[in-house]
Chain A
């Protein structure tokens, strides 16, 4: 079974803090993704990566950056957290772009 893990289930941070969300997958998948999920808005893609050190902007990259130094790990960085970044963050991976994605359990981030 594919396993995608995220470093925290719940996180509370203060405005202006730098926040790191970590995601690890154990199936040697090429592609990894970061989404945020908000009620009524569905899943919105923040960034994705199709190879180590490669990244592509998704639909809402503003205020975020990513890092993929190793194939299995994809980090989402909030350079200076703001209250409008309070959300559920989901990580996913897939073998190839058009294969199904496997999701992590999510991190519910609250910025106060």
Chain B
């Protein structure tokens, strides 16, 4: 069974600084997708970024980028120029493409951006 581990329950960062959230996963599949989701306080969960395992290039979305290390089964999220609006719970998620199975989520990292 696949598992996703986020080892940092809480983190904080100063506004305008850079922060990296860690995620590791365990799978025997070779083809899969990885996601980072953001859940702001009392607001809807939204997708931040997505990575296909067969792509070597790391995905980027504006200030958000990932460091995908397939051999190490690591998928960290880097937030550059942190803003107060980045304060949220961040969830890492995995899904294999071999069957119609749902996403597997990590337990989340609570990020606080401090002014």
Complex partner residue of B45 from A31, A96, A103, CB under 8 angstroms = A103
A106 touches B44 (CB 8 A): yes
Report B-chain residues with C-beta under 8 Å of the C-beta of A50.
100
User: Size class of A's contact patch?
Assistant: 20 to 34
Whether B96 pairs with A98 at a CB distance below 8 angstroms is: yes
B105 interface contact, C-beta 8 A: yes
Measured CA separation A50–B99 after assembly (Å): 11
Complex: A90 Cα to B37 Cα, angstroms:
14
| Chain B positions within 8 Å of A58 at CB level | 102
Bound-state CA distance A58–B104 (Å) is: 11
Chain B, 39-97, CB within 8 A of any chain A CB: 43-47, 50, 91, 95-97
Which residues of the partner chain B approach A43 to less than 8 Å between Cβ atoms? 91, 105, 108
Query: Which residues of chain A come closer than 8 Å to B96, judged between CB atoms?
Result: 98
- Check B30 for interface membership: any CB of A closer than 8 A: no
